[in-house]
Structure 1
Amino acid sequence: MDVVDRLNPWWFSPSWEDEDKHLRQWQVERVRWVPGWIWELGLDPPALNFVYGPRQTGKTTGLKLLVRELLRRAGPDSVAYLDLDIVLSPAELRRAFEYVVGRAARRGVKRLYLLLDEVTSV
């Protein structure tokens, strides 16, 4: 799925941070604040974490910073990000999940970190 591939540029390019609009904006800020919740998340299986808060408070940027951290621990195929703002239906969401999980399985990924953004939009 082309749209899922575009959301996960680290699958294809080690310089993905330079192209990500959230991290580019974060880089030019005078103060580069990293949300504390990134370090408080439980990532050992089985893990299910919810990050919530008011709009425009840095949750998406925080998730991208978490991606950056996870890529230091795991290979690029082990980290997947889905922005559910672009998913139009439950069937499309299912196809996106199947694509991500199938792709990881084909690449021999033992532990997949799946980050879902804008979940309330579905």
Structure 2
Amino acid sequence: MDELLFQNPWWKDKKNIENDINIKKLKKCKYTYKPQLFKAADLKSDAVYTLRGARQVGKTTLVKLIIKDLLGRNVNPRNIFYYSMDLVKDDKELFEIFVSWHQTVKGNSKRKYIFFDEATFVQNWEKSIKHIVDTFGLENK
């Protein structure tokens, strides 16, 4: 649970998103660009989205901006789950991480937002995501 809290500091205080390294770097930039993808993100649909691209193009920063936007719209911080999978061993561990978080919000019927970053570090990550969807579904519960 400590790692979940570490990767989701907005659970303690939603203002903690401002201390995120990617958000801080973005604030220091002289020029910034909000990609159309950010504006077009339809987060009201029951769907799985994948964001792919070359290294260091801003995928993680985009995810953090989406999280910041959700927090600004008063989404329950616990309903926003981010996890960087840099050190996740395999698809089974990924599933266990999800279940650990899900146990903390399972009685909450509001929409949940789940962001897995660096998924390609995990072999068979697609199978784990499919298993999560097949087991828990996509609709609000």
TM-score under structure 1 normalisation? 0.90
SS at match of 1:67: helix
Structure exhibiting the larger radius of gyration computed from Cα positions: 2
1:116 Cα deviation after fit: 1.1
What residue number does 2:4 align with?
4
Mean Cα displacement is larger for which, 52-61 or 25-34?
25-34
Report the counterpart of residue 110 of structure 1 in structure 2: 110
Residues 27-49 of structure 1 deviation map (CA, whole Å, 9 limit, x = unaligned) = 11101222221121221231211
Question: Is 1:36 aligned with 2:36?
Answer: yes
Q: Is the 8 A contact 1:7 1:81 kept in 2?
A: yes
| Partner secondary structure for residue 95 of structure 2 | helix
Q: Alpha carbons of 1:110 and 1:14: their partners in 2 closer, same or farther (altered >3 Å)?
A: closer
1: distance between equivalents of 2:50 and 2:66? 13
User: 2:46 is matched by which residue type in structure 1?
Assistant: P
Equivalent in the alignment of 1:26: 26
Cross-structure match for 2:93: 92
Aligned match of 1:48: 48
Describe the SS at the equivalent of 2:44: coil
After alignment, is 53-62 or 87-96 more displaced? 87-96
More moved, 71-80 vs 50-59: 71-80
CA RMSD of aligned residues (A): 1.4
Looking at structure 2, the residues matched to 82 and 118 of structure 1 have their Cα atoms a distance apart, in angstroms, of 9
Match of 2:14 in 1: 14
| Structure 1 unaligned residues grouped into runs of 5+ | none
Count of equivalent residues: 121
Give aligned-pair identity as a percent: 30
1:79 matches 2:80: yes
Which digits, 9 at most, give the CA deviation of each residue in 1:1-47, with x for residues without a partner?
Answer: 21111110000123213321111100111012222211212212312
What 5-or-longer segments of structure 2 have no aligned partner? Answer: 123-141
Partner Cα distance (2:3, 2:109) in 1: 21
Q: Normalised by the size of structure 2, how large is the TM-score?
A: 0.79
